[in-house]
Amino acid sequence: MTDAVKVGFVPFSAAARGVLVVFCDDALKFGPVTGKALGTAVQAVKRAAAANQFKGKSGATLDILAPEGLKANRLIVVGTGKVAALKDSEFIRFGGKIAAKISAGTEAVTVVAELPSGALKPAQAADVAAGIRLRAYRFTRYKTTKKDGDNAPLRTQFSVAVADVAAARRAFSPQSHVVDGVLTARELVNEPPNVLFPAEFARRASQLRKLGVRVEVLDVPAMKKLGMGALLGVSQGSEHDGRVVVMRWNGGKPGEQPVAFVGKGVCFDTGGISIKPSASMEDMKGDMGGAACVVGLMHALAARKAKVNVVGAIGLVENMPDGNAQRPGDIVTSMSGQTIEIINTDAEGRLVLADVLWYVAKKHKPKFMIDLATLTGAILVALGIEYAGLFSNDDRLAERLTAAGQASGERVWRMPLGPEYDKQIDSQFADMKNTGGRNGGSITAAQFLQRFVDDIPWAHLDIAGTAMSVPASDLNRSWGSGYGVRLLNQLVADHYEAKR
Ligand code: BES
Ligand code: MN
Ligand code: ZN
């Protein structure tokens, strides 16, 4: 990873280094350890709070430079609101708020993990550390001349001072692996499309082997042999050959049916012959956000040695308009045997997924399949950037995903499917066409995908609004969000892992 910061745990008794961060409630009360660390600086805090209308609301911060009576040159007070009303999900946000305050050049930060009511629980301290790592990530690899301020990687050493160092480390270890997975996904989304073409993406996914993941890469001849005509049709207009990468993590019982995740990996989407307008076309480097999430998720699950068998499969192509490109009017035969009339070459993601979903369904017979895809602009119109669109043929899976979304903060909103929509993708010449017109564009896309999942419980997440080009948030300041890694890690942890 380029720009990842380190977060360690130290005992409360350790001397604080660098910037000091403490928590207070909405009565500006501190815990005993914090009070001792502040000493006479408490007076400076009260004055600064009054001067700045700081009321200790949850997530609010108060910044005090050169505080009287403290060794630290900077004191950051983070409000928690009423401690009794604190939700578990807030601690990761606190970590994000803290990291957001720190700029490159800050050597060390010490966070006193104590509420007015007493020490943070290990899981809460771990959440703070995870939030710090998520928000601190920056993508600065290609900044060479203006490498300062926000353009420089953060090299700050963060320490979280806790009551029980060993317990905090234990709680953070799996979390930190999940953060690594998120950062892996972001890194892939942020990379430019001249660097990250399908073969290079496959090479990077292959690095998961270091974690014990089995990685198989299908090249064009292999895909031809399998009859992946839908995926290959998209790929044929590019100088860069497509790939399918299948990743397997077997942390569960031998022979137990796996769960499966499938990602759209269009490394660049020009639209093909149905070419897109120039404005914001550069954003289409992020059209592989689904595949990036699957790689990040496999990283997270393997690194934390999740007790589950998982298949991750990604379809990697570049959608380009050269002399050999697919035309509107072409009819392709998918691996399933179903034929597809191409109406719009810009509706390419569903073509890629059609073959990968079918391949995974037939080859691995998973318990369920969840695909992630930056599939339609229409999902941005419907849901904006706060929720991903969820489509599913299985109510239980949909409910579990919705709950995992609430718990992780990576939220999903269920959208309808139904045979009524089928007529929009009926074709005059083939079994179906690849677009269904303007109305319900995200739904007809999902309806198309459903034809390639057989009867396997399946969910489709349209992440066009959440995977990339998102504004800075508490947990992310980079263009790529890594959306989906924490959501699906949560789903797996809650329902599909053997208990330890
Ligand atoms: N990759 C795009 C969808 C997209 C749009 C992702 C905006 C992220 C931001 C997809 O391949 C696409 O072009 N979809 C078309 C489908 C249409 C031609 C039926 C769209 O949404 O306009
Ligand atoms: Mn497209
Ligand atoms: Zn696309």
CA-to-CA dists, residue 332 to 54, 152, 315, 352, 369, angstroms: 63, 47, 17, 12, 24
pLDDT tens for 12-43 read 999 888 999 999 999 999 999 999 999 999 99
Is-catalytic flag, 365? no
Distance between CA atoms of residues 109 and 192, nearest Å: 33
Ligand 1 atom nearest to 435, measured from its CA: 19
465 ligand 1 Cβ < 6 A? no
289 ligand 1 Cβ < 6 A? no
Tell me: pLDDT of 1 over 70. no
Residue 349 CA to ligand 1 centre (angstroms): 8
287 ligand 1 Cβ < 6 A? yes
346 ligand 1 Cβ < 6 A? yes
Query: Would you state the structure tokens that stand for residue 314, as one six-digit string?
Result: 């990604």
- Residue given tokens 């990379």 in the structure block: 191
Protein residues near ligand 2, an ion, with CB under 5 A: 269, 346, 348
Q: How confident is the model at residue 499 (pLDDT cuts 50, 70, 90)?
A: confident
Tell me: pLDDT of 488 over 80. yes
**Residue of 350, 411, 433, 477 marked active site:** 350
Parallel/antiparallel/unpaired status of strands 388-392 and 19-24: unpaired
**Which protein residue's CA is at the shortest distance from atom 16 of ligand 1?**
347
Query: Would you state the structure tokens that stand for residue 396, as one six-digit string?
Result: 């239980």
**Which protein residue's CA is at the shortest distance from atom 5 of ligand 1?**
377
On the CB side of 453, how many CA atoms lie within 13 Å of its CA?
26
pLDDT at residue number 446: 98
Distance between CA atoms of residues 229 and 125, nearest Å: 50
Q: Which residue, among 59, 62, 66, 100, has the nearest Cα to 80 in the 3D structure?
A: 59
Residue 347 CA to ligand 1 centre (angstroms): 6
Parallel/antiparallel/unpaired status of strands 6-11 and 157-162: parallel
pLDDT at residue number 165: 98
462 ligand 1 Cβ < 6 A? no
Please provide the average confidence, as pLDDT, over all residues in the chain.
Answer: 97
Give the number of other Cβ atoms within 10 Å of residue 105's Cβ.
11
Pair 56, 152: CB distance under 8 Å: no
Give the number of other Cβ atoms within 10 Å of residue 82's Cβ.
13
Is-catalytic flag, 276? yes
Q: How confident is the model at residue 2 (pLDDT cuts 50, 70, 90)?
A: low
- Residue given tokens 């009054």 in the structure block: 50
Share of the chain above pLDDT 90, in %: 95
Ligand 1 atom nearest to 376, measured from its CA: 21
Helix or strand (DSSP H, E) at 371: strand 369-373
> Is 15 or 376 the better-scoring residue by pLDDT?
376
Question: What is the DSSP secondary-structure string of 289-343?
Answer: HHHHHHHHHHHHHHHTT-SSEEEEEEEEEEE--STT---TT-EEE-TTS-EEE-S
pLDDT at residue number 450: 98
Mean pLDDT (whole number) for 330-338? 99
Distance between CA atoms of residues 376 and 201, nearest Å: 22
Query: Would you state the structure tokens that stand for residue 449, as one six-digit string?
Result: 């995908």
Residues 6+ apart with CB under 8 A from 194: none
344 ligand 1 Cβ < 6 A? yes
pLDDT tens for 150-168 read 899 899 999 999 999 999 9
CA-to-CA dists, residue 126 to 21, 181, 272, 395, 465, angstroms: 16, 16, 46, 33, 29
Pair 98, 109: CB distance under 8 Å: yes
**Residue of 276, 305, 307, 414 marked active site:** 276
Question: What is the DSSP secondary-structure string of 338-364?
Answer: -EEE-S-TT--HHHHHHHHHHHHHHHH
**Which protein residue's CA is at the shortest distance from atom 13 of ligand 1?**
346
374 ligand 1 Cβ < 6 A? yes
Residue 329 CA to ligand 2 centre (angstroms): 16
Residue 376 CA to ligand 2 centre (angstroms): 8
- How far is C-alpha 242 from the geometric centre of its chain's CA atoms? 23
Share of the chain above pLDDT 70, in %: 99
Query: Would you state the structure tokens that stand for residue 313, as one six-digit string?
Result: 């499969």
434 ligand 1 Cβ < 6 A? no
CA 283-144-316 angle, 5° bins: 35
Residue 346 CA to ligand 1 centre (angstroms): 7
Distance between CA atoms of residues 48 and 35, nearest Å: 16
End-to-end Cα distance, the chain: 30
